[in-house]
Amino acid sequence: MASHRGMVRVIPRTSVRFFKTLTEPYSPTISTDLYTQEKEPRFISLFQNDSRLKTITEEEAKLSPSLIALHARLNLGQDFPLATLARALTCDTKDGQHASNSSLSQVGKRLVKYHVTENMITKYPRLPIAVFSKAVNAYVGTESLSSVGRLFGIEVESKSPIDKYLSGETLETSFGKLRFDSAISKPESGVKHYGKEGITEDVAYKFAVRSIIGGVYLHKGESAAKKFIDEYILSRKVDVESMLKFEQPQRMLLRLLRRNNLPAPVSKLMAETGRHSVAPVYVVGVFSGDSLLGEGQGSSIREATMRGAVNALKAHYLYRPLNERVPSDPERKEPLYVDEGEVYF
């Protein structure tokens, strides 16, 4: 639409709710009896920080239809104020009038990092460290979280303040949109300028998603935050097998077996066809003692041997225990298995 004049906004009645204020007490799941005002007054005073920036009020936030729709889409419930959601979409800007999401996103970042880490360690206890860190990053990295934010249906505020004024929009309507100082500007068509200040759209989405998680923890408590992370982040798919990379698989397998006091690997040709043809196929099994660790096939014996060693290593590193309960699960009975780390030399 070229003009916004004559536009009527319809706000569904059920979406207009009355929320509590931002400083509503949350239920701490951790006991902090040691640090009361009486016992440690000076320590407590270190945690006081009153920034002069005002926070978005509930009344202002209620005026944005897209914010109300986003709130309903994420099923945040009545405990989660619209004002917090509006704050979660407000990144640090140069001329920002309202408190930004930087602190909320700090809280969210730490929560999501822990829950993904414990989940990954429970699921794949033997992953090499490099693969492990990248697998965690596949969930909590910028690309992943920005994709989550886009799936949430968060819109980016693309209009400049003057455009908004000319089209008759108020400031409140933009509370439902992601607001940030973009590092990328387009001075003319076909030219992109990457500035030093500001952030990219992906990073802004990441901050918003983290902040929403932080807000869920703040207003709805720990188990709700964990559920939110389970449903929106950990439900995504990461193919860990394709992340493994081996430069010298046979050598690595030898180290691994030697460390575990098992016989050194022996490759045995198990089947072959068309040795003198243009397309030979070999199947090689890699054995340690009597047990077949892995089997590979290839068009040369060397290739098949290498694949056999890779498959043997994959069988080891991608081991998944039957009991997949994470340590934060109160119903967990058995201790978590953490491996001893990979060998290097």
Interaction of residue 45 with other proteins, rule CB under 8 A: yes
Query: CB 219: neighbour CB atoms within 10 A?
Result: 22
Residue among 241, 231, 229 nearest 117 (CA) = 229
Interaction of residue 147 with other proteins, rule CB under 8 A: yes
CA 289 – CA 306 distance, rounded (Å): 18
**Helix, strand, or coil here: 84?**
helix
- Contact between 211 and 101 (Cβ < 8 Å): yes
Interaction of residue 203 with other proteins, rule CB under 8 A: no
Interaction of residue 43 with other proteins, rule CB under 8 A: yes
Query: CB 295: neighbour CB atoms within 10 A?
Result: 18
Residue type, 3: S
Q: In this chain, which of 57, 117, 167, 200 binds other proteins, going by CB under 8 A?
A: 117
Q: Please identify, using beta-carbon distances, which residue of 198 and 265 lies nearer to other proteins.
A: 265
Q: Which of these segments, 90-98, 142-150, 159-167, 183-191, binds other proteins (CB under 8 A)?
A: 142-150
**What would the two tokens of residue 168 be?**
């008759």
Residue among 86, 144, 67, 80 nearest 112 (CA) = 144
Interaction of residue 143 with other proteins, rule CB under 8 A: yes
Query: CB 238: neighbour CB atoms within 10 A?
Result: 17
User: Taking CB under 8 A as the criterion, which residues in 272-291 touch other proteins?
Assistant: 272-273, 275, 281, 283, 285, 287, 290-291
Number of chain residues interacting with other proteins (CB under 8 A): 139
Q: In this chain, which of 171, 183, 234, 318 binds other proteins, going by CB under 8 A?
A: 234
Q: Which of these segments, 4-12, 158-166, 183-191, 192-200, binds other proteins (CB under 8 A)?
A: 4-12
Q: Which of these segments, 22-30, 157-165, 180-188, 190-198, binds other proteins (CB under 8 A)?
A: 22-30
Least distance (Å) between residue 319 CB and other proteins? 14
